[in-house]
Amino acid sequence: MSDTHPEVHEERILWTELLWAFGVGIFIAASLSMIVFTALTRDINPPSNVERVDPKTLHLSGEFAEQNLGTSVGSDGSVTVRMIATQFMFAPRCIAVPQGRRVTLRFASPDVIHGLLITGTNVNTMVIPGFVAQVHTEFARTGDLLMPCHEYCGLGHSEMYATVQVMSQSDFIPEADGRVSCAKR
């Protein structure tokens, strides 16, 4: 009886497996294509700006010296936020950002690994000592958001978070030096 012969079973079995693998392959290819498409057309990428900075001298001079921290608007209108992530606080503790405009956030750590996210947005990055972490985004809605440190950085990790005030564009007014501070509440 040829239809009970094991080899015939095996051949048909492998065909069904191939068919299934093909279907699964299509799903995988489609998902990857979607990812590539949004990466190229909507600028959706993981934060991957590889830029080195010496953690041991951050505070002394240069971009992450204390006087440069916080939000500042450049002469071309670009909005850049610079923050330090350190055990166990962000400096500054509050930043102001505009709604509906592209914002570039740059972080550095002088000590250990930190990380952060901003609730309700796709802002998420690790902060690795030795590298500047840079994320771009656009804030859709006004309001106060949380920016916690989300990577274990020591015993004070649980208390480490900052506030992000998303302001309407009319409220987002730079001072003479281009800096914008949080509104006093």
Partner 1 sequence: MRNAERLCLAHFWVAFAAFLVAAALGTWQMWVRSPLGAHIGTPGQYFMSVTAHGVSMAYVLTTFFIMGFGYFVAVTALDRPLPGKPWAWAAFWAAIIGVVMVLLTIIAGKASVLFTFYPPLTASPWFYIGLVLVVVASWVWCILMLAAMAGWKRENRGRPVPLAMFATVANAVMWLWTTVGVAVELLYQVIPAAFGWVQTIDVGLARTLFSWTLHAIVYFWLIPAYIAFYTMVPRAAGGRLYSDTMGRLTFILFLIYSLPVGMHHLLMDPEHGNGTKFIQVLLTAFVSVPTLLTIFTITASLEIAGRLRGGRGVLGWIAALPWERPTVLAVGLAFVMLGFGGFGGLINMGYGMNAMVHNTSWVTAHFHLIFGGSVVIMYFAIAYEIWPRLTGREHSSLAPLRWQLWLWFIGMMVMTLPWHWLGLQGQWRRVANFNYADPIIASWGPLVIVSVVGGFLLLLSALLFVRNLIALHRSAIIAVRRPLYALAVHPPQRVPAALNGFGLWNVLVLVLMLLAYGYPLAQFAITPSPSAMVHRVQ
Partner 2 sequence: MPVEQPSAASDSFEVADEVSETALADVLRVVPLGAGVLAGTMVALLVLGYLAVYLLVFLPRGPVG
**53, 64 contact by CB (below 8 A):** yes
Position 33 contacts partner 2 (CB under 8 A): no
Part in contact with partner 1 (CB under 8 A); list of ranges 63-71, 75-83, 149-157, 176-184:
149-157
Does 135 engage in binding with partner 2 (CB under 8 A)? yes
Binding partner of residue 59 among partner 1, partner 2, none, CB cut-off 5 to 8 Å per kind: none
Answer yes or no whether residue 40 interacts with partner 2 by CB under 8 A. Answer: no
Cα–Cα nearest to 103, from 127, 135, 146 = 135
Distance CA 87, CA 127 (A): 12
Rounded to 5 degrees, what angle do the CA atoms 88, 94, 100 make? 130
Q: Which residues contact 116 (CB under 8 A, 6 or more apart)?
A: 85, 90, 107, 123, 124, 125, 127, 147, 148, 149, 150, 162
Q: Nearer Cβ to partner 1, position 143 or 178?
A: 143
CA distances for 64 relative to 20, 80, 139, angstroms: 54, 12, 23
In angstroms, give the least distance from the CB of 122 to partner 2.
4
Amino acid at 180: V
Q: Which does 140 bind (CB under 5 to 8 A by kind): partner 1, partner 2, none?
A: partner 2
**Applying CB under 8 A, does 41 fall inside the site for partner 2?**
no
Residues that bind partner 1 (CB under 8 A): 6-7, 9-10, 13-14, 16-17, 20-21, 24-25, 28, 31-32, 35, 38-39, 44-56, 87, 111-113, 115, 117-120, 122-134, 146, 148-159
Residues that bind partner 2 (CB under 8 A): 1, 3-4, 9, 12, 16, 20, 23-24, 27, 30-31, 34, 38, 42-48, 120-124, 135-140
